[in-house]
Amino acid sequence: MQHELEKLRYPIGRFAVPDHIDKQLLNDWIKTIADFPARLKSEVSDLPDIALEKRYRPDGWTIRQVVHHCADSHMNSFVRFKLALTEDDPTIKLYEENLWAELPDSKHNPIESSLKLLEGLHQRWEILLKSLSDEQLERAFIHPVTKRYISLKVNIGLYAWHCNHHLMHIVNAKNRSV
């Protein structure tokens, strides 16, 4: 049962930092981030409102909440990139994603606003990511809980994974009978 729940929570597995991050891998990750809004829209734009209430796992978020979470999370990540590029080793601010997902704008709001937000945000994010020098890719922020430095190049990989992770949640939710 625990293994089954883990597979539902992490359908593509957990993010693992590769031993070596080269230019090709970075370019692949950036393409994943750039393509995410269109891929997301393709998965959800024709869903009737009732289908947006389907969950990818028992007690998990609805498709609607996942879409809004992606907007929330990616806005936070974009700000973290900007902080790391303009400040020396900033400590990021965490947010309570589970509580944000329960707010009315995430729980009941139509998804179109988040789809539009993601489209514009990812256009800007792609431009920023493609412009980063090797030195800038090494810049980092500090996670306030773990106290670990997270480089921008690793965070690009994490967010490429995040895009695919939540797309798979949506695919799985669409295919669930409950």
CATH value at residue 39: 1.20.120.450
What is the distance between the alpha carbons of residues 173 and 51, in angstroms, rounded to a whole number?
A: 9
Decide if 74 is inside a domain: yes
pLDDT score, position 3: 83
pLDDT digits (tens, 9 = 90+) for 135-177: 999 999 999 999 999 999 999 999 999 999 999 999 999 998 6
Q: DSSP string of the chain?
A: -HHHHHHHH-TT------S---HHHHHHHHHHHHHHHHHHHHHHTT--GGGGG-BSSTT--BHHHHHHHHHHHHHHHHHHHHHHHHSSSPBPPP--HHHHTTSHHHHTS-SHHHHHHHHHHHHHHHHHHHH--HHHHT-EEE-TTT--EEEHHHHHHHHHHHHHHHHHHHHHHHH---
pLDDT score, position 1: 72
| Positions of the chain with pLDDT lower than 70, given as ranges | 177-178
**Residues of the domain holding 106:** 21-175
Q: What is the pTM of this model?
A: 0.96
Decide if 90 is inside a domain: yes
Decide if 4 is inside a domain: no
Q: Number of structural domains, the chain?
A: 1
pLDDT score, position 178: 57
Decide if 91 is inside a domain: yes
Decide if 3 is inside a domain: no
Decide if 102 is inside a domain: yes
Both tokens of 160, joined, read 């490429």
Residue 94 near residue 141, CB atoms below 8 Å: no
Decide if 67 is inside a domain: yes
Decide if 50 is inside a domain: yes
Residue 176 near residue 54, CB atoms below 8 Å: yes
